[in-house]
């Protein structure tokens, strides 16, 4: 019953490859997030999109490039990653936008990324 769908579930790539992670939600949410999570650690915020515009970039290296083609889709383009980038990459969404109350974030199942 996951409302945020991420593909692929697993990805193994070499340090010279280019790949993309995809995230989709159909809850009408206007804020979407990328997180990186290492085992038994909290999610680390990478990027936030609000109304399809990048609103937060937490000083993420340029080898990670986010893209928000429309309000339902969020991509994360990967290029020249390092072994330390191996982690679970989580996408989340929330109602976001022009509201006076913080809203819960709903997470996808994540993409488990391994860099060889």
Partner 1 sequence: GENVEQHPSTLSVQEGDSAVIKCTYSDSASNYFPWYKQELGKRPQLIIDIRSNVGEKKDQRIAVTLNKTAKHFSLHITETQPEDSAVYFCAASNINTGNQFYFGTGTSLTVIP
- Decide: is 60 part of the binding site for partner 1 (CB under 8 A): no
Instruction: Name 30's Cβ contacts closer than 8 Å, sequence gap at least 6.
Output: 50, 51, 71, 95, 96, 97
Instruction: Name 26's Cβ contacts closer than 8 Å, sequence gap at least 6.
Output: 3, 72
For residues 18 to 57, the per-residue mask of contacts with partner 1, x marking binding by CB under 8 A and - elsewhere, is -------------x--------xxxx-x--x-x----xx-
Instruction: Classify residue 71 by its DSSP letter.
Output: T
Least distance (Å) between residue 101 CB and partner 1: 7
Beta bridge partners of 67: 75
- Decide: is 66 part of the binding site for partner 1 (CB under 8 A): no
The structure tokens listed for 54 are 């990048």
- Residue (1 or 84) nearer to partner 1, CB: 1
Residues near partner 1 (CB under 8 A): 2, 31, 40-43, 45, 48, 50, 55-56, 90, 94, 96, 100-110
């Amino acid at each position: 019953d996951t409302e945020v769908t991420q593909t692929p579930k697993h990805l193994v790539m070499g340090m010279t490859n280019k790949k993309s992670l995809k995230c989709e939600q159909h809850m009408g949410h206007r804020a979407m997030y990328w997180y990186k999570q290492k085992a038994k650690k909290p999610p680390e915020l990478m990027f936030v999109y609000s109304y399809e515009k990048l609103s937060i970039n937490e000083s993420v290296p340029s080898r990670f490039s986010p893209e928000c083609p429309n309000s339902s889709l969020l991509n994360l383009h990967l290029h020249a990653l390092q072994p330390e980038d191996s982690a679970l990459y989580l996408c989340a969404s929330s109602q976001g936008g022009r509201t006076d109350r913080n809203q819960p974030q709903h997470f996808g199942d994540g993409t488990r990324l391994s860099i060889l």
